[in-house]
Structure 1
Amino acid sequence: MTYRLGELFCGPGGIALGAKWASTISNPTDRRITHAWATDYDKDTCKTYSRNICGAENSKSVIHDDIRKLKIERLEKISAIDALAFGFPCNDFSVVGEQKGIDGVFGPLYQYGINVLKHFQPQWFLAENVGGLRNSNDGQAFQNILRDMSQAGYDVVPHLYKFEKYGVPQARHRIIIVGMRKDLSVKFKVPSPLPFADADVSCRNAIENPPISADAENNELTNQSETVVKRLKHIKPGENAFTADLPEDLQLNVKGAKISQIYKRLEPTKPAYTITGSGGGGTHVYHWKEDRALTNRERARLQTFPDDFVFCGSKENQRKQIGMALRP
């Protein structure tokens, strides 16, 4: 059985790569998932997806367009689908932000996934978002989303996955909703994390084993300012700019909320904290020993992307793609 996969908000290709791996592990002659089409609003992200999933940077099955302007008929002309994946934008549901939920600019975009479900009626779907979705709009947004998915014809199973429990070297917690079409005699069960109980999920193991090749793509160092280097020398593993004992001239003049990841060093024996794609200086994730931010390749390893998965675009755009991706 081959499942043709369509993707909305596809990102750089984490879900598609995971689908490829799953097809290889299960049995390529039995059940496999193949790429049908994918869409994203960011041009460089589409190039990354196209290069790594389709084998060419400008595949016609990868559409660069705003989902609010994209016609379903355009997708239909490319291919029918048996499965749909959509990691709808988390901006309005994340605890880092204004948390406008369903009332924000991005909150309602999940409806485009519902529209595609109703139109194509794939056998199953996977939707992903941040853990804050459960509490957005006092929990009403989450209930509305689950209701709309059910009314589209699917039995849904939402679950908050703690990825470090599944062998991932990062404390990344995400809600994944799996839906099976109601007319099918198939039920989805949340996979057990027990097979990964003894996995080494330390960030040091992920970054250093094996060593990153000197000519690896996306591995350029950030040009750290003298002040940042001085500040990092006073910050121990696990500490940030507010918990470390910093000299007064190196302290940050920040009023209000003090985000715990600002200039935070990794703890080498533990999973990394959440890799993000947004934020300015101080949010780039910092090495436990060296006085520098991680390279994009090191961040990609914490997201479990292999070293031959190449991210296109500027260094900042690559960082955004890596942080916003659903890891494979």
Structure 2
Amino acid sequence: MIFKNGELFSGPGGIALGAKLARFTDESGEQWGFKEQWANDFDRDTVDTYKLNILNNLNDKTVYCEDVSKFPIGDKEKLPDIDSLMFGFPCNDYSSVGKQKGLNGVYGPLYSYGVKAMKAYHPKVFVAENVGGLSSANEGHALIQILKEFVETGYHIVPNLYKFEEYGVPQMRHRIIIVGVRNDLYYKGIHFHVPAPTTPNSEDQETAQKAIEDPPIPKNAPNNEIPKTTKRVAERLSYIPEGENAWYIGIPEELKLHVKGAKLSSIYKRLDHNKPAYTVTGSGGGGTHMYHWKENRALTNRERARLQTFPDNFKFIGNKESVRKQIGMAVPPRGAKVVLKAVLKTFAGIDYDWVEPTEKLQLNNLLGSNGIVLKGLDQ
């Protein structure tokens, strides 16, 4: 079965590429996979990147550069029926790095457009993604409200905190992914389970150095321009060992940062060559661009893309800051592949190794402790 897929907040195509990689043929010869039906994002460079790499067609008319509030969700002449829905709703108001305004922020309520699409199309399955900080935003009430709406829309849901370094991604990137199977299908025996980690042990996890250097990045690879580094920044970095940041005790006084209240661990932080990278981000000022473990410079966008598991021939459209943003905001394709392949195997009736969801995200614990009772929810 090939699922006709709709995608909101598509980004440059991390989830979509993961969906392509998840395709397989079962023992009977039937193909299982996802086919793009329509998608949207509000950023022009991001949409062009998606069209170029996922659809191989910059003139494609099924990927819309449009604010989601104006996107014609439910207009089936423009946006036809779908079997699956995927949406990495914006994380800005849920990230633990920010102010965590949650549902009270500008971006916080945008998950509701996913709910709108679920009500309009009743897809067999949906996959929603957000930062780990979602579980603590609004003192935990944001996540509960979101899950409550997903369930009341008619889905059996399995939320889980995926630690992507445990799934073959060379980066300590922790994200909540919620998979929902439509109730009528769930009660017929289609039960999604969290796929078991493929690299649960630290000694098996891919390191930053291996991801960036093995094999070497081709000289003609796109988005690989070496960033400019000022003499002062290079000198400061020369005193910072790998794995340490701008507050390393060995930095001379004249090169230390004197920013009141700023102790973010990622500022001028070098990678540790022998561990997965810390989280690739898409924005931030001086000192937040990720730094090489050995060379006194920030990473190139291609090096960041490798940490996000995009292939070298995946070309990002836009200037350096636009590309940086696209890479940092994307879902790692390799991580998305693991989850989406488990979704396909669930529907195909193929067994796979699985684990229980993260304890604090198990619905009995999460909803029950807050006095919320959802009628008809089979836990």
> Which blocks of at least 5 consecutive residues in structure 1 are unaligned?
none
2:314 pairs with 1:309: yes
Map residues 196-275 of structure 1 onto 2, 5 A cutoff.
197=201, 199-275=204-280
C-alpha deviations, 1:223-254, integer Å up to 9, x for none?
A: 11111111110010001001242111111120
Change (3 A) 1:23 1:160: same
Cα separation, 1, equivalents of 2:271 and 2:80 = 44
CA distance in structure 2 between the aligned counterparts of 1:178 and 1:25, rounded to whole angstroms: 22
Distance (whole Å) between structure 1 residues aligned to residue 328 and residue 100 of structure 2: 19
Which deviates more from structure 2 when the two are superposed, residues 302-311 or residues 25-34?
A: 25-34
1:194 deviates by 4.3
1:50 is matched with which residue?
51
**RMSD of aligned alpha carbons:** 1.5
Supply the AA of the counterpart residue of 2:298: A
Number of the residue aligned with 1:22: 22
3-state SS, counterpart of residue 291 of structure 2? coil
Aligned to 2:194, the other structure's residue is in SS state: coil
Query: In the alignment, what sits opposite 1:64?
Result: 65
Residue 201 (structure 1) shift: 1.0
- Decide whether the 8 Å contact of 2:242 with 2:272 is kept in 1: yes
Aligned to 1:173: 174
Per-residue Cα deviation, 1:62-88 (whole angstroms, up to 9, x for no partner): 100111122214565242110000000
The aligned residue for residue 131 of structure 1 is 132
Instruction: Tell me the secondary structure at the aligned position of residue 68 of structure 1.
Output: helix
1:74-93 mapped onto 2 (5 Å cutoff): 74=75, 76-93=77-94
Aligned in 2, Cα 1:286/1:321: closer, same or farther, shift over 3 Å?
same
Check the 8 A contact 1:37/1:75 in 2, yes or no: no
SS in structure 2 at match of 1:146: helix
Residues 141-156 of structure 1 correspond to what in structure 2 (within 5 A)? 141-156=142-157
Kept in 2, the 8 Å contact 1:169–1:203? The answer is: yes
2:191 corresponds in structure 1 to 187
SS of the equivalent of 2:265 reads coil
Distance 2:109 2:205 in 1: 38
- How far apart, CA to CA, are the structure 1 residues paired with 2:249 and 2:205? 28
Provide the rounded CA distance (Å) in 2 between the counterparts of 1:244 and 1:169: 28
Secondary structure of residue in 2 paired with 1:45: helix
Say whether the 8 Å CA contact 1:236–1:244 is kept in structure 2.
Answer: no
TM-score (norm 1): 0.97
1:33-74 alpha-carbon deviations (Å, 9 max, x no partner) = 111111001000000001001111231011001111222145
The answer on whether the counterparts of 2:165 and 2:205 sit within 8 Å (CA) in structure 1 is no
Compute the displacement of 1:144 (Å). Answer: 0.5
Q: Judge which range, 64-73 or 225-234, deviates more.
A: 64-73
Give 2:195's aligned amino acid. P
Q: SS of the counterpart of 1:158? A: strand
2: distance between equivalents of 1:229 and 1:71?
Answer: 49
Question: In terms of mean alpha carbon deviation, does 57-66 or 216-225 score higher?
Answer: 57-66
Identical counterparts, % of pairs: 56
Q: Which moved more, 1:241-250 or 1:92-101?
A: 241-250
Across the two proteins, how many residue pairs are aligned to each other?
328
After superposition, the Cα gap between the structure-2 partners of 1:75 and 1:53, relative to the gap in structure 1 and judged at 3 Å, is: farther
TM-score normalized by structure 2?
0.84
